Amino acid sequence: MSKTKVGRQDVPESTSNARGFQRWKTGLLLERKRFVEEYKLADLLLVLSETAADTFRARGFPEEKLFYLPRGVDIERFKPGHRPAKFRTVFSGALIKRKGIHHLLEAWSRLNLAEAELWLVGSVHDEAKPYLNQFWRDNIRLVGFVHDPEKYLSQSTVHVFPSQWEGSAKVTYEAAACALPQITTREAGDVVRDGVEGIIVRPGDIDAIAAALEHLHRHPEVVEHMGSAARQRVVENFTWDHFRTRLLDAYEIAMQKVA
């Protein structure tokens, strides 16, 4: 068994790892407790989505303490492009399990969609590599991390982001601004309404992801309708001007509370 040096004493690596995990877990619990205490002291809590708000409601925080402040997006940078001839699915974000990349890869591996490809835009983390190896297909393109995600979103047909927990993922705003219908989860935020701007699935529901992909592949008219609705929703609700207005309102309410 390999060992890790601790001072002058040799300690089995498994023991060292267990102790390290326990220290991390204890620190996380203490940090969480500190955050909760700070939340209780705050006059106003800014929540990025209804899902985030629900986590505070579940802990008994009063409704009047919660202020809805969704993100904004630059609609001039992120805008519709030309739909490709192929059915191009794109995932944009870090390739980690928390964002559901392993569920998307498994769903994609079950399908045999004609004239279709999957683009993965984002940094590849070690935890995703076994799934890339297991579920790899020739119609997958691993783009990697980029500074211009709008270039890839605007060239795609549909964005899939099956996050398991997120709060309010900025990429869902960016994809909507590029007029992409999305297959995503409620945990990713409030941009997508089920059946309007995309399809909402439960986290980890691989069958639902595959079924949604197949549905959009078969119905390009649905893609166009949902994509147009997505762009309109962002323009009317989630620009940075909307964000600034809401933020100023939040400051005004907070000042009234302490006046």
What single string gives the DSSP state of each residue in 126-147? Answer: GGGHHHHHHH--TTEEEEE--S
What gap in Å lies between CA 146 and CA 72, rounded to an integer? 20
At residue 76, the 3 state secondary structure works out as coil
pTM of the model: 0.85
| Amino acid, res. 209 | I
What gap in Å lies between CA 19 and CA 70, rounded to an integer? 39
pLDDT confidence of residue 41: 84
Q: Which residues contact 49 (CB under 8 A, 6 or more apart)?
A: 70, 167, 168, 189, 190
pLDDT confidence of residue 250: 95
Q: HSE (CB half, 13 Å, CA atoms) of 25?
A: 6
Residue 124 has phi, psi (to 5 degrees) of: -90, 120
Tokens at 164, concatenated: 């398991």
Provide the CA 17 distance to its chain's centre, in angstroms. 30
Beta-carbon count within 10 A of 128 CB: 20
pLDDT confidence of residue 62: 93
Residues 217-249 as b or e (16 or more Cβ within 10 Å = b): beeeebbeebbebbbebbeeebbeebeeeeeee
Give, as one character, the DSSP assignment of residue 191: S
pLDDT confidence of residue 158: 98
129 within 8 A of 198, measured Cβ to Cβ: no
Low-confidence ranges of the chain (pLDDT < 50): 1-11
Tokens at 178, concatenated: 């590029």
pLDDT confidence of residue 10: 47
pLDDT confidence of residue 1: 43
